[in-house]
Amino acid sequence: MKIGFIGMGIMGKPMAKNLLKAGHEIVAFDLMKENLENVVQAGGRAAASSKSVAEECSTIITMLPNSPHVKSVVMGPNGVLEGAKVGTVLIDMSSIAPLASKEIAGACAEKGVKMIDAPVSGGEPKAIDGTLSIMVGGDKSVFESVKDILLVMGASAVYCGEVGAGNTTKLANQVIVACNIAATAEAFTLAKKAGVDPGLVFDAIKGGLAGSTVMNAKVPMMIVEDFKPGFKIDLHIKDLNNALETGHGVGAPLPLTAAVMEMLQTLHADGCGHKDHSALAEYYAKVSGTKISG
């Protein structure tokens, strides 16, 4: 199948490559030429614009940083809706605000384009090995028609409800991940301050109730101070901002989320926004004077 793919960042590149490996033809576009060239070298074909992608492809995936980027790519000048034919399916796999998903879906519907929101969880490692968790909102029949495509990029693709439900589910996911990382950073700083080897603490508790996918992935990074981004602090700030705005809109209290947001904002102010979100350990190092690593 010929699939359009717009957004060749940390996540988009490996996702597009997995579609290529599965035998799909990829028509790609990204404003960053080096990102686009990376996918072209893997067998994809470059398009000149988002409009050009839509003119060629009846199935289009977008993987972009935030709501304004998706709105611009889809609804803006030289965008997807300027080139799309009636019946085109747009799969937005970006993590954006649920209300933005609904707005974009409405604009698509006016042009006869079907849209689902399908954000992902798992970060770069799972994007590379094709085991992302995908959460989907929109018309269920559209979801079923593209589910096989989604399962090339993910280990699971779960239908969550109407348009926006995918991104609401992603926000819940990001709240849990952020609070979990902060809790592990806090706990392992405690262990280090108390004179107990964090590596031994990790081995002792990872198989118990405190164990989690987040702890297994992020604590080893904290222990060796490896904060190469699988998911950047600045992107998690974006997600938590969307979560807090959504929470305020629907009347859901998010005090833990707000606390972790302030930690991430402190790290951003310290020039750490490009680091992996496991660098929350550096916030605790700053306030405690003790690093988990070393």
The residues assigned a catalytic role are 170
For residue 137, what are its two tokens? Answer: 């909102």
- How many CA atoms are closer than 13 Å to the CA of 268, on its beta-carbon side? 13
Compute the distance between CA of residue 203 and CA of residue 60 in angstroms, rounded to an integer: 44
**DSSP β-ladder status, 120-121 and 132-137:** antiparallel
Beta-bridged to residue 154, according to DSSP, are 132
Residues 6+ apart with CB under 8 A from 251: none
For the chain, helix, strand, coil in percent to 5 are 55, 15, 30
Compute the distance between CA of residue 3 and CA of residue 21 in angstroms, rounded to an integer: 13
Helix (H) or strand (E) holding 158: strand 154-161
